[in-house]
Amino acid sequence: MGSRVQIRFDKGPDDAAVWFDDARDQIVARSLADVGPAFAQMQQALDNGHWLAGYASYELGYALEPRLHATLPEGRALPLICFGVYDAPAPAAPLAAGHAALHGLVPRWDAATYAQVFARLHAWIGSGDIYQANLTFPMDAQVSGTSTALYAALTEQQKVGHGALVLQQELPDLLSRSPELFFRVTSDGQITTRPMKGTMPRGATVQEDA
């Protein structure tokens, strides 16, 4: 059993906010060799009627494509997979407001780096290697206040369809705010997906489009 992880989802199975705490077990994959067994443990937990709540790091993609194994970044702050096994979620209490703010946002890329990567992606699209890409880069900032208070402030300022807060004792906390539903699977196997691309209707005027 690893360190304690608490997870809040703004929208649970019944569209109400839910809270996961006191996991009966924790499934963690820190290396490529851990990924397969972790997936097997997760499936076994589901087969046993338990709930899973947690996260998969972006770097998990390197583990899913054998040609990328050798390029898996080192020095990662998060495990590739971290899921708790729960009996059931509890209703989430209202978020407690408090002082929280971000200060001194500094991008890790300068303008020249961004332009170089943009040109590379533009060339790949032009040659037909890819048809789209999400070009993002990390930023560093100083945070004042707790993760919960910051998340509460974000929910007030940024109304989105899907949000999650992951509080971790020995790892960085995770705050996620997204308008996108990657996919949702019901108990009878119905799959729903609501990607960002193409989900916003056109306005009647240029001003509405803007």
Give 175's strand partners: 165
What pLDDT, in 10s, does the model give residues 144-184? 999 999 999 999 988 888 999 999 998 999 999 988 888 88
| 49 and 68, same domain (yes or no) | yes
Q: Is pLDDT at 2 greater than 90 in this prediction? A: no
- Which amino acid is located at 20 in the chain? F
What pLDDT, in 10s, does the model give residues 128-148? 999 888 899 999 999 999 999
Mean pLDDT of 33-62: 97
What pLDDT, in 10s, does the model give residues 83-101? 999 999 999 999 988 899 9
pLDDT at 203: 76
DSSP labels, 14-66:
TSS-EEE-S-SEEEEE-SHHHHHHHHHHHHHHHHTT-EEEEEE-TTHHHHHSG
| 81 and 121, same domain (yes or no) | no
Q: Does residue 200 form part of some domain?
A: no
| 112 and 72, same domain (yes or no) | no
| 94 and 115, same domain (yes or no) | no
> Which residue range(s) make up the domain with 120?
106-141
Give percent of the chain above pLDDT 90.
71
Q: Is pLDDT at 201 greater than 70 in this prediction? A: no
Number of domains in the chain: 2
| 70 and 166, same domain (yes or no) | yes
| 51 and 131, same domain (yes or no) | no
